Structure 1
């Protein structure tokens, strides 16, 4: 099975950035419907591909698409800004993006105590 390309992953990150519109306080309701339309298109391109270790959406933007989709689905005001088809599409892709998020989390190196930290004479 083919893997997601770095370009496709960057497009997911761009759509996520559009949802947040560089907002520190949450999602941008004015830009969100356009970004959700991008998500729907990207999901159609991605759903039959496997994830890759070479790139993650976090390489391009600080939030993962799964977190953005979860934020939208848990925000009544955000859901009101979407039509029923867009809401259903987000419901369909939440499992995919959650699996992707978990995959990316598993690829992160574990932070722990180094051997140097274990030495008593430092």
Structure 2
């Protein structure tokens, strides 16, 4: 389960990061054209997606922390981008990765009680 969480988390995180970088680039063009924008929102949006990727990478070693980071990244992505078709793809992948990470933690607990 942890390997599935790792794969889904990395794929979902990379797709979300691509969306975030494209949105950051479009936001930068808008601010260069004179539109007021919040630099903090763009910074948080990129940081959340990087945290989701870090969580995906560490889900095999620390499943609880990795799954929590992926879940926070998915929730933050929906809050920033909204719930639509484009946000659904990475959010579902990150959410499934987080779920598999949490299930992997329970799998480790069951194996330690049998030994």
Shorter-chain TM-score category? 0.3 to 0.5
More helix by share: 2
TM-score normalised according to structure 1 size: 0.34
* Structure of higher RCO (CA pairs closer than 8 Å, 6+ residues apart): 2
> Which structure has the larger Rg over C-alpha atoms?
1
The TM-score, its normalising length taken from structure 2, stands at 0.35
